[in-house]
Amino acid sequence: MKKQLLSILIFFLSVNIATAQRGTVNLRGKILTADGQPAWGLTLTIKNTRSVAYTDKEGVFRISAPLGSSILIIKSGVSIQEQEVAINTNADKELEPITIKEKSYELNEVVVTGQYGPQSLKDAVYKVRSINAEKIKLRAATNIQQVLNTEFGFRFGNDLTLGVSNVEMMGMSGWNVKILLDGIPLVDRLDIKESLNQIDINTVERIELVEGPMSVVYGTDALAGVINIITKGKTGYKFGVTARLQEETVGSEYETLNGKGSHNKNIGVNWQNQGWSASAGFSNNTFGGWNVPAKTATSDEVKLINFWKPKDQYLGNVKLGYGNSKLNIWYRVDILNEDIVSRGGINPNYTVVTQTYTTDRLNNQLHADWMLNDKLSLTFAGGYTSLQRKTKTVKYEFATGAESLTDGAGEQDKAKFNAALFRTTLQYRVSSYLAFQPGIEINREEASGQRIKGSPVINDYAFFASAEIKPFSDLKIRPGVRFINNSVYEAPTAVPSLNAMLNLSNNLALRLGYGRGFRAPALRELYFDFFDASHSIMGNSNLKAEKSNSFDGSLTWTAIRTDRFRLTSALAGFYNSFFDRIEYGEYELDRSITTLINISKFKTTGISLDNNLNYKNLQVNFGFSYIGRYNKESNLDLQTEVAKFSWTPEFFANTIYNLPKVGGTVSLFFKYTGSRPSYQVNDASNPTAAKLIHIGGFTWADLFFNKTVTKYLTINAGVKNLLDVTQLSNTSAATGGAHSTGGGTVPYSYGRSYVLGLVFNWNKL
């Protein structure tokens, strides 16, 4: 036994001595792009070792390497490049600058949404738009809505009763838009995508927008497209600290640091070493409301006021990860607590009612990418989301000073929504002409609440597969199909898609696509019941999934591409036809009750021209879109002639100009959205007549100046809503929903606001 222990000890000592004799040194170097710019965010590894490093904002890296000859592997996200390095002494070595084959703008155009792996934007089969962290920073945005507000094809509305905003993408409502955080779906209670404004904008690296159905890859809700919010990864520094303080007026209302106005605070730290990484952040966003009635206002006076409700958000996040040349695994958790306060007016009996809407959100996600060999890789994504929305209503009596909870329907309510996801995919590249991606996905959703029958659970099981076929070098064809089995609703058996990209020349690419989309009925549509003095609404557990046939095409032309000047234009069009659309209707057993039924058809169509110009220090994104929405009244026997589609134009121009001599940037974000027409049948005296109605158009513009004050400090100042848009005209005589207002005007914004922000960024290499 002693001899065996001695042999083991001698073996380990021999290994340690050999390792010590071989030794390691630090390699230091710089990576440049083909056009001479620093290449930051690249992953570097030493082949057959665990050494990992990342380039910083200057393209600089430091990595441990053994003595002798080694292979340095450089991953740009678009390609992999290898370089041999020889180390003959124990001293640290400075390498000559290494140039990769991609230019700087090509590195900035790497996308992942719907792809087999990170891919250059120009090579993606799908039409993808990307908004990077630099553009987000220049907009002084405090939420995702402010980033998308000047993007074409997007339109937002406000629900002042609930204190949230909704989104419309390419003419389709929020039900049809899939919101992802790092590829994991976010949970929302309604078609209003409140999750868009409940993600910490300070943690966002970029936002990828895919137009058209992505149901094969991402399942339900992705009929209009996908908004994938991608969080920040490794920075290239061993340690770093960031902080942000931003103050903003709300219209003309403002109080310093707290109270009226908008007040945003953030702090974050990050660390990484030898492949390990960790980051954490905390933010507080306080919105003091706008046009809030005085405490002495009566209940009748409050009803006449359109006001934004005060909102207070606390957000936290932690991210842990490890990566090497073969494996990348990381876990992230995001938490949110949000309070929205709605104070009523004084009643004749000298009481006042205050409602508080509290949202608690927890997002967990685990990701892993494992490269088994050069042809085979495996990806895994798992997520668990918990969303809780609580309504608390309190009555205050001025005479006695007593507070008590009210007992009206829905005034004390708690709704809980949980969702779990497991998805794994295998990428197998047979050759440069053929690749496969099979995958499985399991979803589980659960809801409970006073207005939801029981505690329903939906289990969804899916198998999906796609292939990327290249019959020749200039043509990519990607067929795909998703098979679904659902425990509750009637799901489509198979959802197919077919996309293709053809390079007509070096500067001209054609993309064509067909997709069958579907939207699963939400738990609230299936099981939500709400009855009081003014509501009789009942869910329908027999609903089928909405389905659609969608066609899209685009032609991308790189008109000019030099080191100093680049102009790219994309002309695109789409057509979507929906059926089995879910809408409110009469309950067949009792016409006094409103329920949900699969009844209507809907269509959208449109064209867009998107141009990107880069010249020296100038970046301009400009163009237009023209979107048509189907008028279902056109199929009725009416006296009035009704067009099949109502059309809305948009013109946009987002300009960024760098001022290197002063270390600053001037940016202008502009979009004109035309009036939105439609038809309405609401004349009781003449039920066969249709009336043309519309919500008025508006122009939105934001102007900002960003300047680096010191090495670590940046200042951002500007004006949001430069043209002071507040209300949109509305000729409708009917309400547009449970919480909207018909006729008169539609509240859109609280007016022009002024912004001043400071950003601190310290890093150690």
Residues in CB range of 131: below 8 A, 6 or more apart:
147, 151, 206, 207, 208, 209
DSSP label of 288: -
What is the number of domains present in the chain? 2
Cβ burial, residue 532 (10 Å; 0-12/13-18/19+): exposed
Residue 2 domain-assigned? no
Residue 734's pLDDT band (boundaries 50, 70, 90)? low
pLDDT of 583 higher than 90: no
Residue 6 domain-assigned? no
pLDDT recorded at residue 393: 92
User: Strands 93-94 and 24-32: what pairing?
Assistant: parallel
Q: What's the CA gap between 639 and 649, in Å, rounded? A: 28
- Indicate the average pLDDT of the chain: 86
105 SS3 class: helix
Of 172-176, 210-214, 641-645, which has the strongest mean pLDDT?
210-214
pLDDT, mean of residues 565-580: 91
The residue from 101, 126, 156 where one domain ends is: 101
Range in 171-180, 545-554, 603-612 with the lowest mean pLDDT = 171-180
Q: What are phi and psi of 735, to 5 degrees?
A: -75, 150
- Residues 82 and 137 reside in one and the same domain: no
User: Strands 727-729 and 691-695: what pairing?
Assistant: unpaired
Residue 12 domain-assigned? no
pLDDT of 736 higher than 50: no
Select the more confidently predicted residue: 502 or 190. Answer: 502
- Residues 644 and 561 reside in one and the same domain: yes
pLDDT of 285 higher than 80: yes
- Residues 48 and 174 reside in one and the same domain: no
What sign for the dihedral angle of Cα 178, 151, 133, 158?
A: negative
175 SS3 class: helix
- Residues 26 and 128 reside in one and the same domain: no
Instruction: Describe the chain by its helix, strand, coil percentages, rounded to 5.
Output: 10, 60, 30
The residue from 55, 71, 101 where one domain ends is: 101
Measured between alpha carbons, how far is residue 601 from residues 370, 416, 580, 581, 634 in Å? 44, 31, 7, 6, 12
Residue 1 domain-assigned? no
Each residue's pLDDT tens digit, 64-110:
888 888 888 888 767 788 888 888 777 788 888 888 888 777 776 77
CA 390, 396, 401, 403: dihedral to nearest 10 degrees?
-30
Q: What are phi and psi of 443, to 5 degrees?
A: -120, 145
Residues in CB range of 731: below 8 A, 6 or more apart:
693, 694, 743
The CATH number of the domain holding residue 466 is 2.40.170.20
pLDDT, mean of residues 682-708: 80
Range in 138-147, 524-533, 541-550, 598-607 with the lowest mean pLDDT = 524-533
pLDDT of 309 higher than 70: yes
- Residues 279 and 326 reside in one and the same domain: yes
- Residues 41 and 120 reside in one and the same domain: no
Residue 139 domain-assigned? yes
Is residue 223 within 8 Å of residue 143, measured between CB atoms? no
Residue 137 domain-assigned? yes
Identify the domain containing residue 218 by its residue range.
110-759
- Residues 47 and 145 reside in one and the same domain: no
Is residue 416 within 8 Å of residue 387, measured between CB atoms? yes
Residue 169 domain-assigned? yes
Residue 196's pLDDT band (boundaries 50, 70, 90)? confident
The CATH number of the domain holding residue 86 is 2.60.40.10
Task: State the DSSP H helix or E strand holding residue 522, giving kind and residue range, or none if neither.
Answer: none
pLDDT of 11 higher than 60: no
Residue 10's pLDDT band (boundaries 50, 70, 90)? very low
Residue 432's pLDDT band (boundaries 50, 70, 90)? confident
pLDDT recorded at residue 195: 86
pLDDT recorded at residue 387: 93
- Residues 65 and 160 reside in one and the same domain: no
Range in 15-24, 31-40, 208-217, 667-676 with the lowest mean pLDDT = 15-24
Select the more confidently predicted residue: 561 or 456. Answer: 456
The residue from 44, 70, 101 where one domain ends is: 101
- Residues 30 and 136 reside in one and the same domain: no
Q: Where are the beta strands (DSSP E) in 294-450?
A: 311-323, 327-346, 351-371, 376-397, 403-405, 413-431, 434-449
Q: What's the CA gap between 290 and 296, in Å, rounded? A: 16
Q: What's the CA gap between 37 and 35, in Å, rounded? A: 6
Residue 15's pLDDT band (boundaries 50, 70, 90)? very low
Closest CA to 323 of 202, 218, 234, 232: 234
User: Strands 110-111 and 52-54: what pairing?
Assistant: unpaired
2 SS3 class: helix
Residue 628 domain-assigned? yes
Cβ burial, residue 662 (10 Å; 0-12/13-18/19+): exposed
pLDDT recorded at residue 682: 60
Q: What is the pTM (predicted TM-score) of this model?
A: 0.88
Measured between alpha carbons, how far is residue 660 from residues 528, 580, 666, 710, 712 in Å? 57, 56, 11, 14, 17
pLDDT of 284 higher than 90: yes
- Residues 88 and 156 reside in one and the same domain: no
pLDDT, mean of residues 241-257: 95
- Residues 72 and 134 reside in one and the same domain: no
Select the more confidently predicted residue: 515 or 36. Answer: 515
- Residues 568 and 675 reside in one and the same domain: yes
Task: State the DSSP H helix or E strand holding residue 224, giving kind and residue range, or none if neither.
Answer: none
